[in-house]
Amino acid sequence: MTRRKKWTASAVAMIALLVFMSACSSSKGGSTASNSPSSTASSAASEGTDDPSKQPEITLDVFSNLANYTGEQTGWFAKVVKDKFNIKLNIISGGQQKASTLLASGDLGDIAVAIGGDDYKDAIKAGLLLDWKKDGLLDKYGKDLLENAGKSLEANSKQFGGGTAIYGVGNSVGSGDGPSDGARTTFGPMLRWDLYQKLGSPEIKTFEDYLPIVKKMQELSPKSDSGKPTYGFSLWSDWDGVMSVNAKVTAQFYGYNEGDGFNTADIMMTKADEAKWIGLLDDDGYYLRGLKFFFEANKMGLLDPDSLTQKFPDVINKYKDGQVLFAQFPWLTDSYNTTENTSQGKGFAFVPFTEEKMTSSGYNPYGSQYLWSIGSKTKYPERVMQFLNWLYSPEGAQIAAAGPKGVIWDIVDGKPALTEFGYKAVTNSVDMPAEYGGGKFTDGGFQANNATINKSMINPETGEPYDYSMWSSYLNHDPDPVTKSWREAMGAMTMKDYVVKNNIVAVQPAYFSEEAPVAEPADIKQKKAEMGKVIKEFSWKMMFAKTDDEFAKLKEQMISKAKGLGYDDVLKWQVENYEKTVGAALKK
Amino acid sequence: MKANPHHHVYTPVSKKRFHLGDKYQLFLMALPFLLLVFVFSYLPLYGWIYAFYDYRPALPLSQNEFVGFRWFTSLVSNEFQREEVFRVMRNTFAISTLGLLTSVLPVIFAIFLTEIKNAPFKKIVQTLTTLPNFISWVLVYSFAFMLFSVDNGFLNNLLINMNVIDQPLNVLGSDNHTWLSMTLWGVWKGLGWGAILYIAAITGIDPELYEAARVDGANRYRLMWHVTVPGIIPTFFVLLVLGIANFINSGFEQYFVFKNAINMEHIEVLDLYVYNIGIENNNFGFATAVSILKSIVSLILLFAANSMSKLVRGEGVI
Amino acid sequence: MGKNSKISMFDVCNYTIFALFTLACFFPFYYLFINTISNNDLSSRGLVMYFPKGFHLTNYIQVFKIPGLADATIVSIGRTVIGTVLTVAASGFLGYLFSKPTMWGRKFWYRFLIATMYFNAGLIPWFLIMLKLGMVNNFLAYIVPGIVSPFFIILVKTFIESTPISLQESAQIDGAGHMTIFWKIVMPLITPVLATIAIFSAIGQWNSIQDTVFLITDSKLFTLQFILYRYFQTATSLASLLQAGGGSVNLATIQTATSIRTTVSMVVVIPILLVYPFFQRYYVKGMMIGAVKG
């Protein structure tokens, strides 16, 4: 009996202890994004000296919706920041669900990157973001921010801070004319240059003209490197939102973009540089034209039959093997354009069509919408501000874009150039030196994954863009035979040069509004999700339809089903916002 | 229920003290654990209130828009919507029914595995058949893609080489027998793992029962049928009742990786639908509303299945 | 029936079917494995089918170079061992308690417990409760919520109810308390089901990742699964990254190769395979004799 009681008592005690322990530790582990215990510094101590590297070591939590990585920042970027600021960065990767839990917890860490539109407004309303004007923080520590991103700060203040407070700064800030793309533009099309040359570089007028040419290329090269059949086009569905990403590109070749770059407007396409728009399902619209294009391609045996079922990595593997001859996006070709292939003259290159007006966004002094902001719970507002300010300074932007000076690049004859080691490091063919944290160059970059100053902007300190792949030294560094042949044939140094010279690019001017974009009402959001599902499903069925009749029938079904689920309501809401804002501005 | 051992007490003096205390003592011993259950499972249920709001996580509830039953009614708001929900429920029903039907397979697997006398072979089978359970659905799909893709798929290469077909088959991109093939993938992945429970149950059968039956001249099949099967029936019924209650919770990962435009019509089960509409769009109100409905249906099914079990076997499971 | 004298038709079929099914279960695993040790180029082209080609261990070396792997392994082992022991003990004990018809309000409390299997409060309420309980950035978050698991308790209760309880009775007469009866008599009787629970619980602990994703930001508490699987995330954010400004991004340098992702899955499965056979000795038929008679 006594023994039994003892046992019972000890069991109860053990559980009570567990509950107690967990309740107790709430005081110390209570915040989601709590500063790591190693940060013993107090903010009072940090005011003593001006040199940030002499201040006590702290760890900052950086929450980024764009990060792929969670954990302590490692590699060369960590070293640079540690040396300069005595700061360690703890990266917390986002995703909609993770972001929601942090918002609900009331603590966004020290730096919050790319909190989405409506969430951002909510976060301000709930007091989760720090006002940069408070205690003169920005004026004291934000010299470079004010100088390089002044307009963006102003815009943020007007949109979100009632004209007085500032809660953040836009990403990719820049100014100037022309497209803000890098040397390589965002869209293609790209063709296998060697095969296209063999055909005698036939003229391509409309988008549909690619079909017969790609067919001939397929006949020229029916087998891939490992003996598998070749296709003109290989698509994937795992990135689709409300529509097929691959079919949407057709609009982007014709100067139209999904949405308007400001509002939530993803079922309409707007002309980049004119006040014109079309609905996603418009009969003469570019989306349906894109579907028709791939439908025709499938009839000609040019469309990879696995397009429907494969995932994106499978597509990359097919490009790698040389199974695909056309690419909508330039970056798809990276896995084929290896030194091994290009040295044999095999590789993809940009082959535009006469009618093409590729969309591009212009330099935006107000910045894009992946805002950088500071969490209101931060214990170190001054040091966070110093760090952010550095990211917006020429020095910080240059290091973030091209790595540490003296290791990856240096100034040679007054111009920036990658070092011999740098050329190898940026392609990940060698590891970084141990004192820079080792590992691959790309893994060592700032894992928040968001730009500050637009990389195509000119760095006043070097006279060349921040992006090393736009440096003249880089462009002239031993170009491969494919690039050489392309440059000769096209009379341009890079894709960007070509589209600007030949005026086949539609640049969307920066848009500024004193008001933040209208929040998407819940019922519109839900309707969009429902009809988006239908549109995706039928789009793929249409691309793989057997006959013209089936294609037409599926199209009819898609439109009537989408309309039944609220397509018109959603479109109406989106168009209204567009016409009040971006549309109105473009009319002027 | 079996006779309560506590009634067979010898000394009347100790009987009174022992019996009175025992009832509450048993409860008190369970109490700390029940508290844990309350804290971790019941407390979060306050969040069900989000189903009546257009919930925005950053804001306190008072600043969220109250929408009443809108998320509930939105499921059946118009004809197209009803059609969608009907289709989704039909898929869920079909796949879950097949799932319940195949739930006897692990039983059969366990019974026949115990008939294997070669110990190393048995051990190998038992270990290797649990392997698929540890491969994530994403990797399962990449293996399936290698087997069944049109371009260079293993099956198509084989059939074309053997001249069985001249046009490659698109197995993954077809909507034929979607429910069945999803069930088969599920069986392949879960059979060996699911059988562990029954193997354990068989281990618990009193060996004397086998001896006695053997003495009575029972052959192998009779032993299996009259000793092994009754020995694991309780476990089977418990799992069956729990499985019936899980009827509408078919999970979503498997369907998420196997879905495509062609099989969407038949593969979209309730959980995948909620993911597509609610979670992916950060619509917590809607997702919560569906989750409340699912909980209610599950509990109704649980008690219904339990009553059925009482009718059939004379005893309930819960 | 002659003992082992003849190989019956039954045995032939039985062995054959099991052999085939085992092969079907093993081959995909084997296929994925040989692809991780074959030349990545050949592998990505789908040329590695039955045997490794161009053997190398670069993928494994690369995975083992992931920073923080050693600490994460310790955390994973810690949560698996502690979590499993506590869960098994609690499940056994509660299963025993609930098998006692005399317990006050037994039916109600049992249903109170079972019902939670079918509730889902949603991510945010769960997260906020965990935050209030101090389970954020706390090792206990891996252990405490899983201690009481309705499913395991059901298994134990069912098992106890189907075993002879005469020994318990006789012990009770001797005046032994519930704790003593549970430890000395019931525990040995229910070893097979406890072994099963241990396997289920251990695998659950080892594979768990959601709790780390949402509750842990302190890298000292990351688990092995978490730091390996964060490499899987690349695919989703890659989409937004490339679409936003793909021009200056080199895909080849930022995409995690399929080979690495497969290697990661192998690395987390192999420890399971090493430990699992150890549990199988609890399934040997006839061990009940020892338990009942000893």
In three-state form (DSSP H/G/I as H, E/B as E, the rest C), the secondary structure along A485-507 is HHHHHHCCCCHHHHHHHCCCEEE
Residue C257's pLDDT is 66
A264 has pLDDT over 90 = no
A vs C: CB pairs below 8 A: 189
Helix, strand, or coil (residue A403): coil
Residue A169 falls inside a structural domain: yes
Q: Quote the number of domains for chain A.
A: 1
A249 has pLDDT over 80 = yes
| CATH placement of domain C22-291 | 1.10.3720.10
Q: Do A11 and C179 touch (CB under 8 A)?
A: yes
CA separation for the pair C132, C224 (Å, rounded): 26
Helix, strand, or coil (residue C74): helix
Q: Quote the number of domains for chain B.
A: 1
Residue B17's pLDDT is 46
Residue A22's pLDDT is 44
Q: Which of C258, C265, C286 sits opposite B207 (nearest CB)?
A: C286
A482: enclosing H helix or E strand:
helix A481-490
The amino acid present at A525, given as its one-letter code, is K
Alpha carbon distances (Å) from A447 to A134, A229, B77, C70: 28, 39, 44, 22
CA separation for the pair A119, B51 (Å, rounded): 19
Quote ipTM for the complex.
Answer: 0.84
Residue B175's pLDDT is 87
Q: Which tokens sit at B300?
A: 């109704």
Contacts of A39 in chain C (CB under 8 A): none
Residue C173's pLDDT is 62
Between A97 and A567, name the one with better pLDDT. A567
Residue B16's pLDDT is 43
- What is the per-residue pLDDT across A178-224, written as a single tens digit (0 to 9) for each? 898 888 898 989 999 999 999 999 999 999 999 999 999 999 999 99
Residue A55 falls inside a structural domain: yes
For residue C248, the chain A residue with the least C-alpha distance is A182
Q: Do B279 and A229 touch (CB under 8 A)?
A: no
CA separation for the pair B79, A125 (Å, rounded): 39
Is residue B154 very low, low, confident or very high in pLDDT (cuts 50, 70, 90)?
A: confident
Percent of chain A with pLDDT over 70: 91
CA separation for the pair B302, B305 (Å, rounded): 5
Q: Which residues sit opposite A459 in a β-bridge? A: A464
Percent of chain A with pLDDT over 90: 66
CA separation for the pair A270, A255 (Å, rounded): 8
C42 has pLDDT over 50 = yes
For residue B26, the chain A residue with the least C-alpha distance is A8
A16 has pLDDT over 80 = no
For residue C211, the chain A residue with the least C-alpha distance is A98
Q: What is the mean pLDDT of residues C168-192?
A: 76
Q: What is the mean pLDDT of residues B284-294?
A: 90
pLDDT-wise least confident of A87-101, A337-351, C58-72: C58-72
List the CATH number of the domain containing A139.
Answer: 3.40.190.10
- What is the per-residue pLDDT across B58-91, written as a single tens digit (0 to 9) for each? 888 888 889 889 889 888 887 888 888 999 999 9
Residue B222 falls inside a structural domain: yes
DSSP secondary structure letter of residue C183: I
Between B218 and A409, name the one with better pLDDT. A409
Q: Which of A22, A74, A317 sits opposite C45 (nearest CB)?
A: A317
Between B234 and C79, name the one with better pLDDT. C79
pLDDT-wise least confident of A400-409, B204-213, C248-257: C248-257
B278 has pLDDT over 90 = no
CA separation for the pair A231, A249 (Å, rounded): 18
Q: Are strands A87-93 and A58-64 parallel, antiparallel or unpaired?
A: parallel
Residue B2's pLDDT is 39
Percent of chain C with pLDDT over 90: 35
Residue A272 falls inside a structural domain: no
Q: Give C92→chain B minimum CA distance, Å.
A: 12
Neighbouring CB atoms inside 10 A of C169's CB total 17
pLDDT-wise least confident of A314-318, A341-345, B278-282, C62-66: B278-282
Q: Which residue has the tokens 């308790």?
A: C153
Is residue C39 very low, low, confident or very high in pLDDT (cuts 50, 70, 90)?
A: confident
Residue B318's pLDDT is 78
Residue C177's pLDDT is 79
A19 has pLDDT over 50 = no
Residue B84 falls inside a structural domain: yes
Contacts of B206 in chain C (CB under 8 A): 163-164, 288, 292
CA separation for the pair C154, C160 (Å, rounded): 10
Between A510 and B317, name the one with better pLDDT. A510
Residue A496's pLDDT is 93
C174 has pLDDT over 80 = no
Q: Give C250→chain B minimum CA distance, Å.
A: 24
Residue C186's pLDDT is 83
Alpha carbon distances (Å) from C106 to A283, A380, B37: 67, 55, 15
Q: Mean pLDDT for chain B?
A: 86
- Host domain of residue A23: 1-178+363-460+513-519
Q: Which residues sit opposite C286 in a β-bridge? A: none
Q: Do B30 and C25 touch (CB under 8 A)?
A: no
Q: Do A330 and C236 touch (CB under 8 A)?
A: no
Percent of chain B with pLDDT over 90: 36
Most confident of A88-97, B223-232, C108-117, C280-289: C108-117
Q: Do B188 and C24 touch (CB under 8 A)?
A: yes
Residue A30's pLDDT is 37
| Start-to-end CA span in chain B (Å) | 13
Residue A320 falls inside a structural domain: no
Between B13 and A427, name the one with better pLDDT. A427
Is residue A571 very low, low, confident or very high in pLDDT (cuts 50, 70, 90)?
A: very high
Residue A54 falls inside a structural domain: yes
Q: What is the mean pLDDT of residues B103-112?
A: 94
Percent of chain C with pLDDT over 70: 81
**Widest Cα–Cα separation across chain A:** 99
C244 has pLDDT over 70 = no
Start-end of H helices in A205-364? 210-220, 245-253, 286-299, 312-320, 339-342
Residue B40 falls inside a structural domain: no
Q: Which of A93, A182, A442 sits opposite C247 (nearest CB)?
A: A182
Cβ neighbours of residue A536 under 8 Å, at least 6 residues apart?
A237, A240, A242, A243, A244, B261
Domain ranges of chain C: 22-291
SS (H, E, C) chain B: CCCCHHHCCCCHHHHHHHHHHHHHHHHHHHHHHHHHHHHHHHHHHHHHHHHHEECCCCCCHHHCEECCCHHHHHCCCCHHHHHHHHHHHHHHHHHHHHHHHHHHHHHHHHHHHHCCCCHHHHHHHHHHCCHHHHCCHHHHHHHHHHHHCCCCCHHHHHHHHCCCCCCCCCCCCCCCCHHHHHHHHHHHHHHHHHHHHHHHHHHCCCHHHHHHHHHCCCCHHHHHHHHHHHHHHHHHHHHHHHHHHCCCCCCCHHHHHHCCCCCHHHHCCHHHHHHHHHHCCCCHHHHHHHHHHHHHHHHHHHHHHHHHHHHHHCCCCC
Residue C272's pLDDT is 85
Residue C251's pLDDT is 64
Residue A43's pLDDT is 42
Q: Which of B41, B203, B235 sits opposite C158 (nearest CB)?
A: B235
CA separation for the pair A356, A358 (Å, rounded): 6
CA separation for the pair C146, C163 (Å, rounded): 27
> Taking CA A472 as the corner, what is the angle to CA A470 and CA A475, rounded to the nearest 5 degrees?
70
Q: What is the mean pLDDT of residues C73-96?
A: 95
Residue C283's pLDDT is 65
Q: Do A96 and B78 touch (CB under 8 A)?
A: no
Helix, strand, or coil (residue A172): coil
Residue A68 falls inside a structural domain: yes
Residue A161 falls inside a structural domain: yes
- Host domain of residue B195: 12-30+53-313
CA separation for the pair C102, C175 (Å, rounded): 17
- What is the per-residue pLDDT across A436-476, written as a single tens digit (0 to 9) for each? 988 888 888 898 888 899 999 999 999 999 999 999 999 99
Is residue A41 very low, low, confident or very high in pLDDT (cuts 50, 70, 90)?
A: very low
CA separation for the pair C166, C186 (Å, rounded): 11
C91 has pLDDT over 70 = yes
CA within 13 Å, CB half, A458 = 9
Q: Do B206 and C28 touch (CB under 8 A)?
A: no
Residue B5 falls inside a structural domain: no
**Residue among A556, A543, A565, A552 nearest A240 (CA):** A543
Residue C159's pLDDT is 84
Alpha carbon distances (Å) from A465 to A145, A362, A389, A509: 18, 15, 19, 20
Between B265 and A5, name the one with better pLDDT. B265
Between C173 and A301, name the one with better pLDDT. A301
Residue B35 falls inside a structural domain: no
Decide: A444 and A436 in contact? Cβ < 8 Å: yes
Between A110 and C225, name the one with better pLDDT. A110
Burial of C226 (0-12, 13-18, 19+ CB in 10 A): buried
Residues 295-314 of A with CB under 8 A from B: 304-306, 308-311, 314
Q: Which tokens sit at A389?
A: 């300010």
CA separation for the pair C266, B136 (Å, rounded): 11
Q: Do C262 and B139 touch (CB under 8 A)?
A: yes
Q: Give C232→chain A minimum CA distance, Å.
A: 9
CA separation for the pair A188, C13 (Å, rounded): 60
For residue A236, the chain B residue with the least C-alpha distance is B260
B105 has pLDDT over 80 = yes
Q: Could you tell me the pTM of the whole model?
A: 0.86
Residue A65 falls inside a structural domain: yes
